[in-house]
Amino acid sequence: IIEGGVSTQENVEVLRMFRKHCKVLVAVGECALTGGVPSLRNTVPLKECVEEAYLKGFTVVDGVIPNDPDLPLLLDRVYPAHEVVKIDYHLPGCPPSADTLWAALTALLSDEPVELPYSLIRYD
């Protein structure tokens, strides 16, 4: 089970490792399915996002862009998980309802097909 969008090189590596070692990979939540709110930065070049966050933002006091080798490298945009690896099941929602999680997990654990009726995946 994975959650979250893919926004750093480390995210890509971890997601690929999960895919390599998992028989079934389930993406949970809107960030994993679409990039979610973090993907709003996809409309602005990465350089501008970093400058706004660390140099020009109205809450910035001592503007310094972090430059530590231990920090993961940011990708040019935030990607949904299925654009990086094959995802077997997608559970929508922010977060998915407990009933949706329960239905999917109990089906997977009992080796049954995952069937999510519309009532479990609609949000209106």
- pLDDT one-digit tens code per residue, 39-70: 999 999 999 999 999 999 999 988 999 999 99
Q: Which residues contact 15 (CB under 8 A, 6 or more apart)?
A: 2, 6, 81, 84, 85
Q: DSSP class of residue 4? A: S
Q: pLDDT > 70: what percent of the chain?
A: 99
Backbone dihedral angles phi then psi of residue 54, each to the nearest 5 degrees: -115, -15
What is the average per-residue pLDDT within 109-118? 92
Tell me the pLDDT of the chain averaged across its residues: 94
Is the separation of the CB atoms in 107 and 33 below 8 Å?
A: no
List, for residues 67-80, the tens digit of each pLDDT value. Answer: 999 999 999 999 99
Structure tokens at 93: 């929602």
- To which residue do tokens 């994975």 refer? 2
pTM exceeds cut of 0.85: yes
